[in-house]
Amino acid sequence: MPLIQCLDCGKLERNPVRGRCHDCHRKRRVASGYDSQEWGRCAKAFLTAHPFCDCGAPAKVAHHKFQGMRPTSRGGLDWRNLEAKCHTCHNRIAQSYRL
């Protein structure tokens, strides 16, 4: 596997996460609020209340309906802005964002 240069710090990484080294990926997650306790609690409660994805598979991800919304955004912890998704459907949405 070739080494990939991290988009943020330029470090060469053998196994990057979305184009970034693991340190930078973690920092971005922390900055976005996805590692916060508030989000963890919110997502867990949401998935308990909404256990299934639209496709009928068990939901695994509390997904923000609006592109670019994060736990730190205004309304980012509001259930009205969340959708319960399985990994397959969530990956499909994430792909469409990148197009």
Total residues contacting Zn ion by CB under 5 A comes to 11
Binding mask 41-70 for Zn ion (x = CB under 5 A): ------------x-x-x-------------
Q: Which is nearer to Zn ion, 31 or 38 (CB)?
A: 31
Q: Which is nearer to Zn ion, 11 or 29 (CB)?
A: 11
Q: Which residues pair with 85 in a beta bridge?
A: 61
Window 10 to 29, contacts with Zn ion (CB under 5 A)? 11, 21, 24
Q: Residue 34 in 3-state DSSP?
A: coil
Q: Which residues pair with 26 in a beta bridge?
A: none
Compute the distance between CA of residue 38 and CA of residue 61 in angstroms, rounded to an integer. 15
Q: How are beta strands 61-64 and 12-13 bridged, if at all?
A: unpaired
If one asks whether residue 94 binds Zn ion (CB under 5 A), the answer comes out as no
Task: Answer whether 96's CB lies under 8 Å from 80's CB.
Answer: no
Binding residues for Zn ion, rule: CB under 5 A, are: 6, 8-9, 11, 21, 24, 53, 55, 57, 86, 89
